A and B are shown apart, each in its own frame.
Chain A
Amino acid sequence: MSLELTPDIWLAPARRRAAIEAVLLGAPVVLVLAALGWAVAGLAAGAGLLVVGSVALGWIAARIAARFDAGWLVRRLNAREASLEDSAALVFADTVARSPFEALQAQRIAARIKAIDPTSLADSWQRGRIALAWGLGLAALAGIAVWQMQERAPPPLAPVADSTAAAPGAPRLTGQRLRIVPPAYTGLPARYADSLDVRAPMGSRIEWTLAFAPQPPAAALQLVGGQRLPLTQGPDGWSGALRLDVPSLYRVTAEGMDTAQPAHRLEPIADEPPQVRVIEPASGLVTMSPGQRNWRITFEASDDYAVDTIARLTLTTAIGEGENVRFAERVQTVRGTGDPRRRRFVVDLPLAPFGLVPGSDLVAQLTVADTRAPEPQVVRGPGVILRYPAPRPPEAEGLDLMAKQQMPAYFRSQRQVIIDTEALIKQRKNLSADEFLLRSDTIGVDQRLLRLRYGQFVGMEAEETPKPPLPTSDKDEPAKPDHYDGDGHDHGEAPENPVFGDLGNVLADYGHVHDESEAATLLDPDTRELLKAALDAMWEAELNLRTGKPEAALPFENKALEYIKQVQQATRIYLPRIGSQQPPIDMARRLTGKREGIVGGGAQLVPFALPDAVPATAWRALAQPGAIDLAGLEKWVRSNSGRIRDPLGVLAAIDGLRGAPGSPAAREKLRGALWTVLTRPPAGVRRRSDGGATGRRYLEGLR
């Protein structure tokens, strides 16, 4: 029997219509929601809401369409067509389970159903509801659009608090609007200022719109002690713009204004450089644990606006011992995560590629930049050190305690001298003769210090003895500095130590060589020979360096290095049992019993000079009527603005007094402002009064 009727044919129009209806009814809601999202939270939110709303609407429409099933069709057919004799269910029922009578009836009905147009079964369009939904939706959209347009439009000019009385007929400032557009990199939105005083990020664009009544022929912004910014007349009022770079004061002027206008502040907020903090590890020096394969470092960089996502990680390895330390530096980029103002940089370093051996260091340093335009501020953060611990020296006992394993840090420096000399030779043509000689001489000084250090091991009388703690004779003269800063010979943390390499100065800490150089027992004779040869080479090198002949010095330097490396083989140095080191004895005085001239001149104290003599004088002068040197004071404030918290406030007060020289209020204001710049002098001594003749007699009577 082929009276298989699929209900879908009859259901499809109804389903389609219901779904379309649902979409038509829901679409305005989704659109309004999306528009609201756009208006409130931006374009992305609006688009997101639109997509989510559309999907939700589609799903709802599908669910509604799915409600139209065979049961609904049967009910609808039976209700609509009396000719179906309430037997439509038979047609769509399971064909197998039908009795023959049912089958006959089904066949009859099926033929009638086929004659029915499926479209007529669907519900009719709900035109009213759709129209209502769209009407309301469009109204809401229009409302949002109007609201947004009002929001975006510049606000009307704000009235100005009238502080100065203008002469009749003279223009008066009646309205102001101040728009501050911070630089794009800050990510801050443009805003309108409440008053004419501006405090905004450095580099912001400040746009003034001002209204005057009556209309002046010309108007301008006058920066106090600076340029003049003419305003142009537009439909809104007089407008002008300025890039905020330096703090200054300005006043609004218009042609015809005769009274002095109050000064307003333009105060830029400087962009702070980013700051880097090490979160993990907790301390700056980490000892590598045995079998460690990875090293995890977490940096946190914070900035007032945003930290660049990409940072540079500098990894420095120092591999080796003694003179044989190899440095290698590699740089890799790291991506930060999290809040732009507070980014985290997590590095998980595999340690295998570095080839660390016991005694070597791995130093990691993060260099971050902020997003400042045009040039970002780059900051190099603190370094963290991963140290592969060196093997412990064998425990010494008894007499062995006297023998110490000597691995002085200063053995490295001969190589450094060579490197410096080679660098200097290379740079020769870029340097002037004087400069070249100076730098060569500086290297020579280093060579000399090194020679003196090694000389101690052979008992050589050091030329530069350590300074005694107290002056032993008044003939002493202060040593002149040999170095200058930044010459490439700064020795890290203790640059100008006259006793070079003090840190590892075990000999001076625990011992003292009393022997003559020929009879020094500190080293065995062979080692001493080697050392002496090294010293001779060093002396030659120093001679050449100090006379400005680094090329000639280089062979000697290399020879000295060679000897030193041989000396390194002799690792045992014996320390004598001797007490602390006494100041050298002045032989000329010895055993004479005379103590004249034994006291040196002592340090000459530089008296404390108050840096605020100018404001202090002005502060006192302001208490009494009389003229004040305002120009000198202003110059002082400008030159000392780094020290003062609020130089603009002082400048404004100065300007206020200049505008109204006779006003006691302006004088009082300046006097108050000057108080902020006065440095507190060291507490002085007040003398008590003797109470006059009466007081003296009273005290006499007390006895």
Chain B
Amino acid sequence: MLAPETLAALLIGAGALAAAARLVLLRRGWPGWLLAALSLASGALLTLALFPPLLPIGGETLLVATAETPPGTRAGPGERLVALPEAPAIAGAERVPDLATALRRHGQVQRLRILGRGLTERDRDADAGLPVSFTPLPLPRGLVRLDPPADTSAGAVFALGGETAGLEGGTAELLDPAGRRIDMQVIARAGSFTLGGTARAEGLATFTLRLRGSDKRVVSDTPVPLRTLAPPQPLRALLVGAPSPEAKYLRRWAEDSGIDLASRLDAGGGVDLGEGEVRLDAASLREVDVVIIDDSALASLGSGGRAGLAQAAAGGLGVVVRITAPANAATRGTWRALGLAVEGGDDTVPVALPPLAPDAEALAFRRGPGTEEAPDSLNTLDDPVPEFARWNLKTGAALVPVVRDADGGLIAGWQQRGQGRVAIWALADSFALVLAGQGDRYEQWWSEALSAVARPESLFRPDVPALVLPGERIAVCGIAAAARVVAPDGGALALAIDPDAGPRGCAAYRPAAPGVHTIIQPDREGERRFAFPVLPEGALTGVRARETGEATAVWAARQSAPVARSPMEQRGPAWPWLLGWMALSGALWFAERRLRARPAD
């Protein structure tokens, strides 16, 4: 079956040919040929008037107004303006609930241009299928990035970082929950800063990040949540080595911080000055979370003992090797047997100790009130800093540093071995920190080293974003069925696990109000609870602005890939062809009349 266009064209062509032949036959000579040609042209024009040729559409651009779009924005020629819900009121803009709706309504657009801050996560979910152009707005003055502190253990030091825009010469201050300044840093040109503080008892605390401009005026106060974890069961640690002051102070710290420490301190001649029955066989090591062993004790274990220790480490045990003497090839061999690819260690370099706090008052606030045994006036910031040395190790990329000094020198680092981790402790005579009045630093460093390597355990610790704002959808992962969230107002909401998210057990949740929300997970032993804070609305405006802008730029770059839609075509206007056909036909008619009226010569 022929298409209507073809059929019509054939018919018209046939008619035109017939007319032309008739005219040629009617009158020989050039007028006859001319008229025949005009008849053919008239037929062609008629066909074109009926079926104008296909033309590619000339490219409409869709302007998408997002947050912070200037209100005076107007659509130019060939443009169409839509406003997403975040956009301010813009005259002449069509309100759309989301970008997908706008694209559906305006199927003819060929390009997208995003105005303002950028698209929210809702609109970045799917590809637009059109080339997108987006120019990010300049960053707002104030906080534009916040890396909140990770979950800490009780009494530990935490750190947070961030970045600011337009605050060069100002200061970033960290205020504790009572509003006292515990850390301060002057913001350099790059705008980034790192601040630290100390945790107390377990629970959720809210610190405040205060930014000041170079004129000392407060620019913003941003809440920074900190979760301090309580260990569900005490860590079982094993101290193996020679009797030494280090053993004494490790024992003291373990006692104070609730670590269940057994020790084997070999005084020679089979005399063990340690506490508890310590055996290093496979069965005993399975019951231990971390082993702290000094290098000479490691060497005296024998290759069989080391192999057993290495196997236990692969099964999840954490091992900390303490260097007490210059390492030689044999020592490094024992380290390699444990899976530590470390070279050097035969000389020492001085340690650069960072100051405990920016000033004396901040140090007092960080330490909190003293006890009767250790009044807060005992050790001050002005106390002379002792000299320390660390064994100079050359490490590869596989070793993860966990404690560094102020110059980035390695004090402790670990390497994965199977399920477990093996760490090396390079600070010589670290106990002298306690004697020099920096017991908190000693505890902190050992805590970090042991926390990094100790045997992992499966905890109920759902994975929730650290900075949650009301009205934003978050993914709560690491939960099982029947989990629910209790909002601050007491309302509970069951979490529906998304089967598509895989085995991680993720569910979506959209908090409505700020405050502490609690995830409750019923299990065999009762209920497990996990609290997470939702910050007040507007707390992270600058941070979210930057995130939106960056994500939108990435999204826009992805859309410029080869066009997914086929180019649109449509028939052009018919009237020019019709007019031409009518003019030609009129001329033909007139000529034919004249021809008939005048007999042939």
Contacts and interface: CB of A to CB of B under 8 A. Distances in A.
Interface stretch (A86-94, A135-143, A694-702): A694-702
A688 B179 contact: no
Interface string B413-430: 000101100000000000
B259 interface: yes
Interface stretch (A220-228, A263-271, A616-624): A616-624
A141 to B, nearest CB: 48
A700 B229 CA distance: 28
Contact of B456 (A607, A616, A619, A689): A689
Nearest to B252: A605
B379 to A, nearest CB: 13
A598 B271 contact: yes
Given A598-B271, A681-B257, A682-B253, A643 B370 contact: yes
Contact of B371 (A611, A671, A684, A703): A611
Contact of A683 (B366, B440, B459): B440
A594 to B, nearest CB: 11
Nearest to B376: A643
B440 A680 contact: yes
B311 interface: no
B153 A684 contact: yes
A499 B46 CA distance: 131
Contact of A681 (B200, B269, B372, B419): B200
Contacts of B255: 605, 607-608
Given A602-B273, A672-B177, A676-B178, A687 B369 contact: no
Interface string B271-311: 11101000000000000010000000000000000000000
B201 interface: yes
Contact of A687 (B202, B231, B366): B231
Nearest to A703: B418
A555 B157 CA distance: 67
B53 to A, nearest CB: 60
Nearest to A611: B371
Interface residues of A, number: 48
Contact of A680 (B178, B198, B416, B454): B198
Contacts of B256: 607-608, 681-682
B304 to A, nearest CB: 22
B372 A611 contact: yes
B451 A688 contact: yes
Contacts of B251: 605
A671 B178 CA distance: 8
Interface stretch (B99-107, B112-120, B442-450, B583-591): B442-450
Contacts of B368: 676-680
Contacts of B235: 685, 687
Nearest to B275: A602
Contacts of A116: none
B156 interface: yes
B152 interface: yes
Contacts of A612: 201, 369
Nearest to A609: B371
A691 B178 CA distance: 35
A678 B155 contact: no
A608 B504 CA distance: 40
B155 A684 contact: yes
A373 B194 CA distance: 52
B155 A676 contact: no
B258 interface: yes
Contacts of A694: 503-504
A690 interface: yes
B566 interface: no
A699 B421 CA distance: 11
B451 A595 contact: no
B461 interface: yes
B178 A673 contact: yes
A295 interface: no
B98 interface: no
B180 interface: yes
Given A685-B153, A688-B454, A696 B369 contact: no
A631 interface: no
Interface in B193-214: 198-205
Contacts of A595: 269-271
B370 A679 contact: yes
Contacts of A643: 369-372
A312 B253 CA distance: 49
A393 to B, nearest CB: 37
A599 B418 contact: no
Interface string B478-520: 1000000000001000000000000110000000000010000
Q: Which of B179, B259, B419, B444 has the most CB of A within 10 A?
A: B419
A694 B258 CA distance: 30
B176 interface: yes
Interface string B308-349: 000000001000000000000000000000000000000000
A685 B450 contact: yes
Contacts of B432: none
B450 A690 contact: no
A702 B256 CA distance: 37
A131 B407 CA distance: 85
B201 A619 contact: yes
B154 interface: yes
Interface in A565-609: 595, 598-599, 602, 605, 607-608
Given A685-B454, A702-B416, A644 B203 contact: no
Contacts of A682: 155, 253, 256-257, 440, 443
B367 interface: yes
A687 B231 CA distance: 7
Contact of A690 (B259, B365, B419, B452): B419
B457 interface: yes
Given A620-B203, A675-B205, A686-B156, A680 B366 contact: yes
Contacts of B570: none
Contacts of B180: 676
Contacts of B231: 684-687
A293 interface: no
Nearest to A692: B458
Contacts of B253: 682
Contact of B447 (A605, A679, A685): A685
A619 B516 CA distance: 14
A423 interface: no
B531 interface: yes
Contacts of A692: 458, 478, 503-504
B418 A678 contact: no
B423 to A, nearest CB: 12
A326 interface: no
Contacts of A607: 255-256
B593 to A, nearest CB: 92
A474 B503 CA distance: 58
Nearest to A676: B178
Nearest to B179: A672
A685 B259 contact: yes
A645 interface: yes
The 7 nearest A-B residue pairs measured at CB: A690-B456, A608-B256, A683-B447, A686-B153, A681-B155, A684-B153, A682-B256
Given A598-B271, A678-B368, 18 more contacts: A595-B269, A605-B252, A619-B201, A620-B201, A640-B369, A675-B205, A680-B367, A683-B153, A683-B155, A683-B257, A685-B231, A686-B156, A686-B451, A687-B289, A688-B454, A689-B458, A690-B457, A702-B416
10 contacts: A598-B271, A605-B251, A623-B531, A671-B177, A679-B200, A685-B451, A687-B454, A692-B458, A692-B478, A699-B416
Interface of A: 595, 598-599, 602, 605, 607-608, 610-612, 616, 619-620, 623-625, 640, 643-645, 671-673, 675-694, 696, 699-700, 702-703
Interface of B: 151-157, 176-180, 198-205, 229, 231-232, 235, 251-253, 255-259, 269-273, 275, 289, 316, 365-372, 416, 418-419, 440, 443-444, 446-447, 450-452, 454-459, 461, 478, 490, 503-504, 516, 531
